[in-house]
Amino acid sequence: MAPPLLSLDGIKLTFGGTPLLDGADLSASAGDKIALVGRNGSGKSTLLKIAAGMVDAQDGEIFRQPSATIRYLPQEPDMEGFASVRAYVEAGLGPADDIYRAAYLIESLGLTGDEDPKTLSGGEARRAALARVMAPEPDILLLDEPTNHLDLNTIEWLENELQRTKSALIMISHDRRFLERVSRAVVWLDRGETKRLEKSFAHFEEWRDKLLEEEEREHHKLGRQIVREEHWLRYGVTARRKRNMRRLGELHSMRADFRNKRGPEGAATLTASEANESGKLVIEAKNLQKRFGEMVVVEGFSTRIQRGDRVGLVGPNGAGKTTLLKMLIGELAPDGGTVRLGANLEIAALDQKRTLDPQETLANYLTDGRGESLVVNGEQKHVVSYMKDFLFKPEQARTPVRELSGGERARLVLARLLSRPANLLILDEPTNDLDMETLDLLQELVAGFPGTVLLVSHDRDFLDRTVTSTIAPAGDGRWVEYAGGYSDLLAQRGGEKLDERAPRQKKEETAAKKEGSGTAQSRSAPAKKLSYKQKFALENLPKQMAELEAKVSVLEKKMADPSFYNRDPDGFAKVAAEIDAHRAKLSAMEEEWLELEMLREEIEG
């Protein structure tokens, strides 16, 4: 087993009251890909910050390999003081790091590098932060919710990039599909302690449930043992007093263990307040059209949504999902076409921005400042009782919103939304910042909601488990509705992924084509400069070819040994196949480098 690059042993941390971390362990060696999982508020982000050296533990041992580089991706990156995304990303590089790697990541993540950090959307800020921490190719990469606000194509690109990276990974994420594809081990943080599974996240939930069942059995056995000891204490032989005192002491100890045991965290209770039933037809849209200047967002879209339908909208950030959603519910007028809404609609909407007043208390937010109670499903309920359904403690009723974690804020917004009577739920990115247990409950709520649901999400697993149809962009403002969830959509498209380009990018490409379509000479003119990706390849291919040639040379020397074949014919055949594969790869790299070099010479005149 490789020596650890990072090791946290017996970490303890308390912010008053119950310990947040109570003997937690975490270690990572080269090549590790670890999913750090646990309930919201269990201390995952705090443990990751301790690993990064940003928070001090009160007790425990911490070891970081002196030569190891560590990069940490926060949930909310701070870009204050940077004039551009490129400046922000390059500031994360060390003296020996490759600047072309930063440029390659900026381009691959759909940014130009010239963007002003102050004007970035949530998704763009997350992509810039990912480029900054990944560019140095650190020994240890700590990622806190890396998929939040990313679209599906970017998430899938990130999965592939992280699968290939040599960096040791420790990642927190609510995206099941992402964790299943990237992780090779799971660390479960539960009630301040950690347990480790040396398998991918795909095996986690079955393993966790077995551990909880065993724990419940042991707790039950302890209870029965206490009953037996109490019976002995009352009715047993009272001779040999020293032994009796020892058993009495053991009984007190068992009682303390039984009384002080922290059981598993409770589950949230998500129940939507039901309004009167809507008409059978909820939304009928015919030939919808929407443009912003020359940018075509929606072109000729029609759909018919009936009571009980659960419709998902997917696509790249900037493709127009929210615009289409707003047109469907009548918040935004289309440029062409018609929208007809059904009768008796009562709409409850979750905005992905989830704007909250940081000074407002939880109780005031839930009741709209109308006292200590609210009406849920026609029944008056005290606000503290309702808060408990969403895993908030009674003492948090007067807590300002600013003191809540990202997950707690997400639960608070859901709590308010679900207290409103509705027969049409509009959920724009509802899964952001929710832990998996709450996600499971939200999934059950959406799947069992008697009304209608319109859902925008990039969570593939959540879409597969909830929606009855999925609307996705097909290019040039066209949108197509597919039966089933995201996996069904891919199957119906023959495995073809969604168009990665948003309308804004397509508009720029169209303008570039128009600009260059005057003459045959302009159509065949070379690019004005190499892309960052091309520069990176041109710079690094010679080094990679030299390394490959060295490998081939070593293997050829091995093959030259006259006794090799007689000694190990299978090994001989394996080495011969390896040499052929290396030579084929070397030939392809040489051809790519030659084409790039010719292009460079052509551009430079």
| Domain co-membership, 456 together with 537 | no
Q: Is residue 265 part of a domain?
A: no
pLDDT digits (tens, 9 = 90+) for 397-410: 888 888 887 777 87
Amino acid at 359: Q
Q: Where among 504, 519, 541 does a domain terminate?
A: 504
Q: Is residue 509 part of a domain?
A: no
pLDDT(53) > 50: yes
User: At residue 371, what are phi and psi to the nearest 5 degrees?
Assistant: 95, -150
Pair 9, 25: CB distance under 8 Å: yes
Q: What is the three-class DSSP state of 526?
A: coil
Residue 43 labeled ligand binder: yes
Strand ranges (E), 124-190: 140-144, 168-172, 185-190
Pair 314, 457: CB distance under 8 Å: yes
Query: What would the two tokens of residue 63 be?
Result: 């070891």
pLDDT(548) > 70: yes
Residue 256 labeled ligand binder: no
| Domain co-membership, 201 together with 212 | no
> Where does residue 494 fall: left (phi above 0), alpha (psi -120 to 50 degrees), or beta otherwise?
left
Amino acid at 453: V
Residue 316 labeled ligand binder: yes
| Unique residue bearing structure tokens 């109490």 | 230
pLDDT at 267: 57
What's the mean pLDDT when you consider all of the chain?
Answer: 82
Per-residue pLDDT band at 169 (split at 50, 70, 90) = very high
pLDDT digits (tens, 9 = 90+) for 79-118: 989 999 999 999 999 898 989 999 999 999 989 999 999 8
Between CA 88 and CA 344 the distance in angstroms is 51
Q: Is residue 540 part of a domain?
A: yes
Average of pLDDT values for 26-53?
92
pLDDT at 561: 79
Q: Is residue 276 part of a domain?
A: no
Q: What is the largest CA-CA distance in the chain?
A: 111
Residue 287 labeled ligand binder: no
Per-residue pLDDT band at 557 (split at 50, 70, 90) = confident
pLDDT digits (tens, 9 = 90+) for 441-461: 788 888 888 889 999 988 898
What CATH number does residue 565 fall under?
1.10.287.380
pLDDT at 431: 82
What residues form DSSP beta bridges with 481?
A: 471
Between CA 171 and CA 167 the distance in angstroms is 12
Pair 147, 87: CB distance under 8 Å: no
DSSP 8-state secondary structure symbol assigned to residue 151: -
Q: Is residue 525 part of a domain?
A: no
Between CA 402 and CA 425 the distance in angstroms is 27
pLDDT(344) > 70: yes
Residue 452 labeled ligand binder: no
- Residues of the chain with pLDDT > 90, as a percent, come to 35
Between CA 342 and CA 451 the distance in angstroms is 12
408-435 burial, b if ≥16 CB within 10 A, otherwise e?
A: bbbbbbbbbbbbbebbbbbbbbbbbbbb
pLDDT at 519: 38
Q: Which of 93, 99, 92 is nearest to 74 (CA)?
A: 92
- 106-120, 283-297, 317-331, 517-531: which has the minimum mean pLDDT? 517-531
Q: Where among 504, 524, 555 does a domain terminate?
A: 504
pLDDT(470) > 80: yes
Per-residue pLDDT band at 524 (split at 50, 70, 90) = very low
Output the CA–CA distances (angstroms, integers) from residue 370 to 116, 216, 524, 529, 564, in the order listed: 42, 42, 69, 62, 86
The sign of the dihedral angle between the CA atoms of 198, 204, 207, 208 is positive
Average of pLDDT values for 134-157?
92
| Domain co-membership, 313 together with 384 | yes
- Residues of the chain with pLDDT > 70, as a percent, come to 83
The sign of the dihedral angle between the CA atoms of 40, 41, 46, 51 is negative
| Domain co-membership, 84 together with 201 | yes
Residue 173 labeled ligand binder: no
Between CA 316 and CA 296 the distance in angstroms is 15
| Domain co-membership, 200 together with 344 | no
Amino acid at 218: E
| Domain co-membership, 183 together with 254 | no
Q: Is residue 512 part of a domain?
A: no
Residue 319 labeled ligand binder: yes
Between CA 8 and CA 64 the distance in angstroms is 9
Q: Is residue 427 part of a domain?
A: yes
pLDDT digits (tens, 9 = 90+) for 186-231: 999 998 899 999 999 999 989 998 988 888 887 667 677 766 666 5
Residue 330 labeled ligand binder: no
Residue 29 labeled ligand binder: no
Query: What would the two tokens of residue 311 be?
Result: 């419709």
| Domain co-membership, 432 together with 546 | no
What CATH number does residue 162 fall under?
3.40.50.300
Residue 584 labeled ligand binder: no
| Domain co-membership, 221 together with 356 | no
pLDDT(309) > 50: yes
| Domain co-membership, 251 together with 338 | no
pLDDT(122) > 90: no
The parent domain of residue 569 ranges over 532-603
Residue 45 labeled ligand binder: yes
| Domain co-membership, 65 together with 171 | yes
Number of domains in the chain: 4
| Domain co-membership, 482 together with 588 | no
Residue 293 labeled ligand binder: no
DSSP states of 393-443 as a string? -GGGGG-BGGGS-HHHHHHHHHHHHHHS-BSEEEEESTTTT--HHHHHHHH
User: At residue 245, what are phi and psi to the nearest 5 degrees?
Assistant: -65, -35
Q: Where among 189, 206, 223 does a domain terminate?
A: 206
Q: Is residue 273 part of a domain?
A: no
User: At residue 140, what are phi and psi to the nearest 5 degrees?
Assistant: -130, 125
| Domain co-membership, 117 together with 202 | yes
pLDDT digits (tens, 9 = 90+) for 561-605: 778 877 887 888 888 878 877 887 887 777 777 777 777 777 765
pLDDT at 605: 57
